[in-house]
Amino acid sequence: MILLSIGYNKKSRDIYSGLSDLCRFFKDKGMNIAIVENDIGNMHNIKCILRDSENDIKLFDDYRDMFYLYASNIIYDFISKEYELSLIDKIIKENYSYLSSEDLNEIKKRCMSVVMGLGVINTENILTTINRKNSMIKKIEEFLQESTEIILDGFITFRLKEMSTELKVIVDGVVEEYVLEKEYSEFIKLLKYFVEIQESKYDLINIIINEKGEYIIEDEKGSNITKEFFEDFDIDNLKGEINKHDMLISALITCAPKKILIHGAENAQCEETIETIKSIFLDKLNFCSGCDMCKPFKSAVKSQKPEL
């Protein structure tokens, strides 16, 4: 009794190992199952065959859904590595040939990470990977439940036509993310350059972030210089949190302090601001783990010192 017959182009890499492990798994459960291979023209075939005994057939009926679910996972992994890589290559070359080879290689690597769920990927991409994989496996499993024979090239062509569309969406998203990262990196380099060529107005700047997330600026002597620090900006007319954070970064770049010490970083309302400051000022930036300046946040508010 043939449980599964898979045919694919001989040039493709083998999936014998995965199917062999599958058969071994069910052998351990008492099923007399074997795996055989043969070539017909350019097609390589692998078959999982069950002995036609009453006990074996009964056992297979008990494990039928599990068998085809496991087989679907093996086939999906093969399709991802063998077919989708070529499709991703084609999509990238057709749409982004103007990028450098270094950029294209990185984009390809990231696309495969999203498709196969490899490496460190963000939450959105993890969800894309999981949802797409589950959808693909379900299609394969539904096919195997109807037919024990699957020719992968034909299956890809006729049963998964949306694959190219899905992969293009993934490639476009990865390219957009990658380009934004590069632009941000170049922007940070430019800001670092500005800081390096600027004359430092302060040896040390203390940035105190109070319990309300407001910024209080003090010099190395502990004198409040918030108003002076932001003298080039119209603080009173600032609207929205984003402006407040942008102004802090701009003022730091303009003043180019030799050292920056941030107090109360845990109160920061915009982590991106802190990360940007870290990227620009590198070893000039330190974080206070607790000092007399950090403690009286409430008294700093009560004293009505100028804040941003």
Encode pLDDT of 185-196 as tens digits: 999 999 999 999
- Which whole number is the average pLDDT over 165-180? 90
DSSP string, 124-135: HHHHHHHHHHHH
Q: Three-state DSSP class for 46?
A: strand
Q: How far apart are CA 6 and CA 164, in angstroms?
A: 22
Is the pLDDT score of 285 beyond 90? Answer: yes
In this prediction, residue 121 carries a pLDDT of 59
Provide the mean pLDDT of the chain: 84
Is the pLDDT score of 217 beyond 50? Answer: yes
At residue 39, what are phi and psi to the nearest 5 degrees?
-110, 140
In this prediction, residue 104 carries a pLDDT of 92
The separation between CA 187 and the C-alpha centre of its own chain, rounded to angstroms, equals: 22
**Cα distances (angstroms) measured from residue 147 to each of 3, 6, 68, 97, 288:** 9, 11, 11, 41, 66
- Which whole number is the average pLDDT over 197-203? 90
- Which whole number is the average pLDDT over 171-195? 92
User: What is the torsion angle, in degrees rounded to the nearest 10, for the CA atoms of residue 86, residue 87, residue 88 and residue 93?
Assistant: 90
In this prediction, residue 189 carries a pLDDT of 93
User: What is the torsion angle, in degrees rounded to the nearest 10, for the CA atoms of residue 148, residue 156, residue 137 and residue 86?
Assistant: 130
Number of residues that make up the chain: 308
Q: How far apart are CA 277 and CA 240, in angstroms?
A: 20
Q: Three-state DSSP class for 296?
A: coil
Higher-confidence position of 73 and 80 = 73
CB 260 within 8 A of CB 203: no
**Cα distances (angstroms) measured from residue 205 to each of 89, 230, 249:** 50, 13, 13
- How would residue 178 be classed by pLDDT, with cut points 50, 70 and 90? very high
Q: How far apart are CA 260 and CA 3, in angstroms?
A: 68
In this prediction, residue 49 carries a pLDDT of 92
Q: How far apart are CA 54 and CA 52, in angstroms?
A: 7
Q: How far apart are CA 233 and CA 256, in angstroms?
A: 16
Question: Residue 213: left if φ>0, alpha if ψ -120 to 50, beta else—which one?
Answer: left
Is the pLDDT score of 231 beyond 70? Answer: yes
Is the pLDDT score of 197 beyond 70? Answer: yes
Is the pLDDT score of 230 beyond 50? Answer: yes
CB 19 within 8 A of CB 35: yes
Q: How far apart are CA 50 and CA 30, in angstroms?
A: 11
- Which whole number is the average pLDDT over 87-101? 91
pLDDT, one tens digit per residue, over 98-120 is 999 999 999 998 888 888 766 55
Q: Which domains does the chain have, with CATH numbers?
A: 2-192 (no CATH), 204-302 (3.30.420)
Residue 128: how many CB atoms within 10 A of its CB? 19
pLDDT, one tens digit per residue, over 128-149 is 778 888 888 998 999 898 898 9
Is the pLDDT score of 308 beyond 70? Answer: no
Is the pLDDT score of 241 beyond 60? Answer: no
In this prediction, residue 155 carries a pLDDT of 84
Is the pLDDT score of 300 beyond 50? Answer: no
CB 43 within 8 A of CB 8: yes
Smallest Cα–Cα separation from 294: which of 178, 208, 173, 202? 208
- How would residue 235 be classed by pLDDT, with cut points 50, 70 and 90? low
- Which whole number is the average pLDDT over 173-194? 92
Report the range out of 9-23, 48-62, 108-122, 230-244 with the highest average pLDDT: 48-62
Question: 203: which DSSP letter?
Answer: S
Smallest Cα–Cα separation from 162: which of 142, 134, 132? 132
